[in-house]
Amino acid sequence: MNDHTTIAGLDVRPLAGACGAEILGIDLSQRLSDESVAGIRRALLEHCVVFFRDQTLTVEQHKALARRFGEIFIHPNYKGTGPDPEIVEIRREPGDKRIVGEEWHSDTTMMEEPPMGAILYALDVPAYGGDTLFANQYAAYEALSPGMQRMIGGLRAYHTDRKVAGPRANNNAFRSTKVREDDAWRETVSLHPVVVTHPETGRKLLYVNHSYTVGFEGMTEEESKPLLDFLLAHGHRPEFTCRFRWQKGSIAFWDNRSSKHLAVHDSHQARRHMRRVQISGTRPV
């Protein structure tokens, strides 16, 4: 097994067997060549998430980088919570009881067209703790039995943001990163296939997650729960995952279509400040 490969002149080093790779020797603050953009995209499709170290990005450079891969996605539940709707500042302060992303999830899947990916940049991180885990959903689907694959192949599931935003979610009382909880907020719900074909690779993957998926079409949430709970837990079995330890200046760029992720809530007395830009996607099919 090679400990690194070269893609379009980029040094790509796998982080784990299932997913994740570090890309070395590139300065993301500069305008990338078309060859480098294509190489990063190829590595992203192959590894589900790619990482970069020792980067220095202004807000405008961060947004310019994201635009090389697509249009910027405006997150509806953070819109109005900061000065720039294209940027989400993710902060945890000492004593926060909750953090953003502490359940296994793909981002913003209640949207009809969820984002294709996100670029997360570390501005301030604790000396240890606060890692992020990622899970390969191709591997999750492929590890299911043929009978289970047939059974879920025709199912669609409801994705809603009622657990992560709005007055009933009540997250703002427990964390420094604020989300919309105003009275004008309204729940967003979309139906997506449980098994999705990736629009670029053509591979099938499992498409349910803890933060947004609540039940199957034609069933009550109670009836859906046993099968859904199995699929949710199955999707992040250890052999499908990688774990990334952050440093100041680190970047994670994940394919939101083929992976799930989780922020580990274990740095309770430390400050953590991240900046995220999301990239628009297409309807899952």
User: Catalytic residue positions?
Assistant: 105, 107, 261, 276
Three-state SS annotation for 30-76:
CCCCHHHHHHHHHHHHHHCEEEECCCCCCHHHHHHHHHCCCCEECCC
- E strand map for the chain: 5-7, 10-14, 21-24, 49-52, 72-73, 88-92, 117-124, 132-136, 156-160, 189-193, 195-197, 204-206, 213-216, 241-244, 251-255, 259-263, 272-279
Q: ∠252-256-259 over CA atoms, to 5°?
A: 85
**And the tokens for 233?**
């837990």
Token readout for 182 is 């105003």
DSSP helix/strand/coil, 282: coil
Amino acid making up residue 211: S
Q: Which residues have a Cβ under 8 Å from the Cβ of 226 and sit 6 or more positions away? A: none
Strands 49-52 and 21-24: parallel
Which residue from 101, 115, 30, 25 is spatially nearest to 64, judged by alpha carbons? 30
